[in-house]
Amino acid sequence: MNITEITSTKKQIAERLRLAPYCRVLSDSTDQLHSFAAQIRYYSDYAKKHPEYQLVDIYADEGITGTEMKKRDELNRLIADCRKGKVDRIIVKSVSRLARNTEELLVLLRMCKEIGVSVYFEEQGIDTEKLNMEMIVTFPGMAAQQESVNISGNLRWSYQKRMRSGDFNCTCPAYGFDLEDGQMTVNKTEATVIRRIFDLYLQGYGTLAIAKMLNEDGIPRKHGYEKWLPSSINYVLNNERYMGDALLQKGYTTETLPFRKMKNDGRLPQYYVENSNPAIIIRETFQAARNLLRSRKRKDAKESPIR
């Protein structure tokens, strides 16, 4: 290696940012040792993969002491090292790991900004180096929003994985069912109403007439709905859950805020699971009602005037 190369290497080392990871580990003595060792390996590897960083030290508090600033010795040591000019950049897994309330978070971020130390939150993907003081004030809201997006994304991934494997059941059971320990069970009182709806429809009553009968008899609904409507009767007659099957991912939630529930028109795959839950009616009854629905729909289409 010649002199020019040595000088260049020393300059590169001098320009590397001094990185200080902060984490909170489990308070159980055995798990704490494993968790801390894992953190050391993770951030040591992180520094190796990012040559622009020089690992200063790893600061780790016990999770049980994370509620009060004065008990977080390692965080206080990190702040002291930042004030001494030993740290250029802090990396932390998430906002909740660094601060437990908005006031504490703002104090920390403002202090770091004033002394030229940036903070990077891995889960939220937010870098305070790119935020000015005015944005720092709104940071808690930004972080909370990103946290919601991340949580929603994780839930979607979990649901889709369980759908593919056939393990997913539901999060909000349809009328006629209850959810007990993650499993759908038949609600006997509501199941009687479901059977009545199918019987009336197969006797020739329309969805409007059936809804009117249920409302006049004071049959309650659930999930915040007050009255039976023709659309709710139509939903019952088309819901394969009542014969024991499940068509999963009929709808989906948008990936960005504000989250909205959308009908799945083919954007995402659907999964059909036979015998996924207890049946309320036999398959022959369900199929007969569905065939009648289709027949009436075709008849209405033919009789409607052309415009």
CA atoms within 13 A on the CB side of 1: 8
The reply to whether 2 falls in a domain is no
**pLDDT over 70 at 119, yes or no:** yes
| pLDDT on residue 263 | 79
Domain that residue 129 falls in: 16-145
Judge if 20 and 141 occupy the same domain: yes
The reply to whether 238 falls in a domain is yes
Pairing, β 246-248 against β 271-273: antiparallel
Radius of gyration of the chain (CA): 30
Please write the tens of the pLDDT for every residue from 161-220: 555 555 556 567 889 999 888 788 999 999 999 999 999 999 999 999 999 999 999 999
| pLDDT on residue 11 | 40
Judge if 230 and 133 occupy the same domain: no
Q: What mean pLDDT comes out for the span 98-107?
A: 74
- Between residues 103 and 145, which one has the greater pLDDT? 103
Determine the 3-state secondary structure of 161 from DSSP: helix
- One-letter amino acid of 221: R
| pLDDT on residue 168 | 56
The reply to whether 162 falls in a domain is no
The reply to whether 295 falls in a domain is yes
Q: What mean pLDDT comes out for the span 217-242?
A: 92
Residues 6 or more apart whose CB falls under 8 angstroms from that of 257 comprise 145, 148, 149
| pLDDT on residue 34 | 61
| pLDDT on residue 151 | 55
The reply to whether 38 falls in a domain is yes
Task: Report the C-alpha gap between 288 and 26 in whole angstroms.
Answer: 58
The reply to whether 6 falls in a domain is no
The reply to whether 177 falls in a domain is yes
Judge if 293 and 175 occupy the same domain: yes
What CATH number is associated with residue 93? 3.40.50.1390
Q: What total of structural domains would you count in the chain?
A: 2
Judge if 197 and 106 occupy the same domain: no
- The answer to whether 260 touches 271, Cβ cutoff 8 Å, is no
What CATH number is associated with residue 276? 3.90.1750.20
